[in-house]
Amino acid sequence: GAVVSQHPSRVICKSGTSVKIECRSLDFQATTMFWYRQFPKQSLMLMATSNEGSKATYEQGVEKDKFLINHASLTLSTLTVTSAHPEDSSFYICSARGGSGTGGENTEAFFGQGTRLTVV
Amino acid sequence: GQNIDQPTEMTATEGAIVQINCTYQTSGFNGLFWYQQHAGEAPTFLSYNVLDGLEEKGRFSSFLSRSKGYSYLLLKELQMKDSASYLCAVMDSNYQLIWGAGTKLIIKP
């Protein structure tokens, strides 16, 4: 299957700083990328959906000014957690889906490895 | 609203068979996915069903009944490494994935 690389896998930052997480599709063009947050023992919570070249669509309750998403190319999307606070500590996962010619829409979402963010 | 239901936790014995059920109510249907997720890791794809029936892939099989809004994941010859959470997800009419809360499977020797 297709490969999605997410970096970093773990990050510890001080409260008030910003952290950028990268999500790259290595062997296909990801027209749509999804960013999830997962709390311990809970399922994935969709934060936002981003389409290449356009603004991300945020789910209700997700602060777009705090969680900045950029999807500037077909292989890269970034999530920046701005002015991080301890309550932002979580597991963040990206997934990518290709457009026509890459398997179409009715296919699995390919996941990155996830990023464990700890804000101290 | 959209809803995916699956048991919170199940326990099974090594070498046995376990069936994890998933029922759903969604706005449209474009397929049902099963993912495996080990603690601290991202989910990994197990199966995709879009037509009714049973799909077999090695020790894992997945069944779908669209009329009943029901699926199950069947795991045979259980191994200790199968201890994980199993997530059921449905792709709705907008091609968005709706996720269940996951079933934590505990395998005992």
Asked if B100 lies within 8 A of A43 by C-beta distance, the reply is yes
Categorize the per-residue pLDDT at A117 as very low, low, confident or very high, splitting at 50, 70 and 90. Answer: very high
Spatial distance between the Cα atoms of B66 and A107, rounded to a whole number of angstroms: 18
pLDDT for residue A106:
43
B82: which DSSP letter? Answer: G
Identify the residue whose tokens are 């997410």: A6
Instruction: Express each pLDDT in B33-75 by its tens digit.
Output: 999 988 878 888 899 899 999 999 899 999 999 999 999 999 9
pLDDT for residue A96:
87
Interface of A with B in 34-63 (CB under 8 A): 34, 41-44, 46, 49
Categorize the per-residue pLDDT at B81 as very low, low, confident or very high, splitting at 50, 70 and 90. Answer: very high
Is the predicted pLDDT of residue A102 greater than 60, yes or no? Answer: no
pLDDT for residue A105:
44
Phi and psi for A6 in degrees, rounded to 5?
A: -120, 135
pLDDT for residue A99:
56
Provide the sign of the torsion angle of the four alpha carbons A84, A12, B102, A51, taken in this order: positive
Spatial distance between the Cα atoms of A65 and A2, rounded to a whole number of angstroms: 31
**What ranges in A30-120 are assigned the alpha helix state H?**
none
Chain B, nearest residue to A33 by Cα: B96
Mean pLDDT (chain A) is 86
B54/chain A closest Cα distance in angstroms: 18
pLDDT for residue A108:
61
Is the predicted pLDDT of residue A51 greater than 80, yes or no? Answer: yes
Q: Is A105 strand, coil or helix?
A: coil
Chain A, nearest residue to B37 by Cα: A43
For the beta carbon of residue A77, count every other beta carbon within 10 angstroms. 30
Pick from B8, B101, B36, B84: which is nearest to A42 by CA? B101
Spatial distance between the Cα atoms of B75 and B64, rounded to a whole number of angstroms: 15
Interface of B with A in 42-101 (CB under 8 A): 42-45, 48, 50, 87, 91, 95-97, 99-101
B40: which DSSP letter? Answer: T
- Provide the residue count of chain A: 120
Listed range (A44-48, B15-19, B30-34, B39-43) with the worst mean pLDDT: B39-43
For residues B13 and B78, is the Cβ–Cβ distance under 8 A?
yes
